[in-house]
Amino acid sequence: MMASSYNAKEEDGHHSGSASHGGAAVVKSKKPDNTAFKQQRLPAWQPILTAGTVLPAFFVIGLIFIPIGIGLYVTSNNIKEFEIDYTGVDMNSACYSCAKNFSWNSTTSCLCTVDFTLEQPFESNVFMYYGLSNFYQNHRRYVKSRDDSQLNGDMSALTNPSKECEPYRMSEGLPIAPCGAIANSLFNDTLKLYYLEANGTRNEIPLVKKGIAWWTDKHVKFRNPGGNANLTAVFQATSKPVNWRNPVYELDQDPENNGFINEDFIVWMRTAALPTFRKLYRIIQKKSSTMPTLPSGKYVLDITYNYPVLSFDGRKRMILSTISWMGGKNPFLGIAYITVGSICFFLGVVLLIIHHKYDTRSTGADIPN
């Protein structure tokens, strides 16, 4: 009797509160969760990191990482890479005089030729890079010295470039297109590669200049103002960057690779992360399945030496490299994987010992106390 009346009372209390919700079922389904949360008693998974639970994870990581690392390392080692410095610091080097006699005012370009030998043939596509050292493309003043609106084909930005471009914004009273320090310092050496046949004839190797820039950059981010036709007219009221020989609309003959959408230009405009960097210059496509793209033998690199680096103690390199799925030659990832994997495995063993010695002992020894 007592109990039932008590229950009735409690129900009454609930009713008054729940009447507005319009149904007992709603209240029932809603309430437990809510109170569980309020009472901090939500159902929960309560994992604990102990030697026992972590052990398998360590072994598994070790067992996965070591093979991956070995795979990466082998892949990296199979990549062929050839690098040659043509800065011309040494008296003996071919480009010494070009480097020494460099002057901004000279109208004729200096040519030099570097010979080199590939010991091994380069299979599949070969990528040709130019590399610069001690060149701070990631300097803040440099990085921000560009106008993305202008490069995107914005007409107003073309005639009135962003303030960020200073001091490469205006020249002789006209706005510079493309403005800014990055564009102004566009790498303008020309590299040509010849295969030196046994009889001494030079065989020019065709260098493909398309596909070196990101597709999205080429087609979306960089656009010529008013389309690709009639660039000369569009850039009429602008001035070329101070250090350029030719205006932007004369970068290439091909209208699809001229103006702001010139791929060499786009590649340059993606500022490098570190002061020593390389940028993709040309691609040497594989021609037949039987012949290596670059057979072993002697080669000649013809350089039109336009780009001064000695003033800031920089270096210029030409790199030939094959590419795997993981990119160019870089043993770091493979070694790192092997190292981390081995450490995990080793720690797994250490933990196993600790686990056996201490965990079982401590839990076993304490209970009788």
Residues of span 266-295 touching another protein by CB under 8 A: 267, 270-280, 283
For the chain, what is the radius of gyration of the CA atoms? 34
Among 142, 159, 171, 226, which residue sits at the site for another protein (rule: CB under 8 A)? 142
Angle, vertex CA 315, rays to CA 310 and CA 316, nearest 5: 115
Q: Which is nearest to 265 in space by CA: 244, 285, 284? A: 244
Q: What's the farthest any 2 CA atoms get from each other in the chain?
A: 118
Residues 310-339 that bind another protein (CB under 8 A): 311-313, 321, 323-330, 332-333, 336-337
Distance in angstroms (rounded) separating the CA atoms of residues 241 and 200: 41
Measured distance CA(72)–CA(337) in Å, rounded: 8
Q: Which is nearer to another protein, 234 or 266 (CB)?
A: 266
Nearest-approach distance from CB 260 to another protein, in angstroms: 13
- Least gap, CB of 48 to another protein (angstroms): 5
CB-nearer residue toward another protein: 72 or 231: 72
C-alpha to C-alpha distances, 365 to 175, 350, 369, nearest whole angstrom: 83, 22, 7
Residue 82 Cβ vs another protein, minimum distance, rounded to whole Å: 13
Q: Taking contact as CB under 8 A, which single stretch among the options 87-95, 249-257, 292-300, 308-316 is the one that binds another protein?
A: 308-316
Give the integer Cα–Cα distance in Å for 103 and 80: 36
> Residue 110 Cβ, how far from another protein at the closest point, in Å?
17
* Pick 233 or 354: Cβ nearer another protein: 354
Q: Which of the 8 DSSP states describes residue 220?
A: I
Does residue number 27 form part of the binding site for another protein (CB under 8 A)? no
User: How does DSSP assign 56-88, residue by residue?
Assistant: HHHHHHHHHHHHHHHHHHHHHHH--EEEEE-S-
CA neighbor of 238 nearest in space, from 185, 170, 188: 170
Residue with tokens 């660039």: 231
Q: How far is the CB of 8 from another protein (least distance, A)?
A: 17
Shortest CB 154 distance to another protein, Å: 10
Give the binding range for another protein (CB under 8 A) out of 88-96, 111-119, 139-147, 226-234.
139-147
Residues 158-217 that bind another protein (CB under 8 A): 162, 164, 166-168, 181, 184-185, 211-214, 216-217
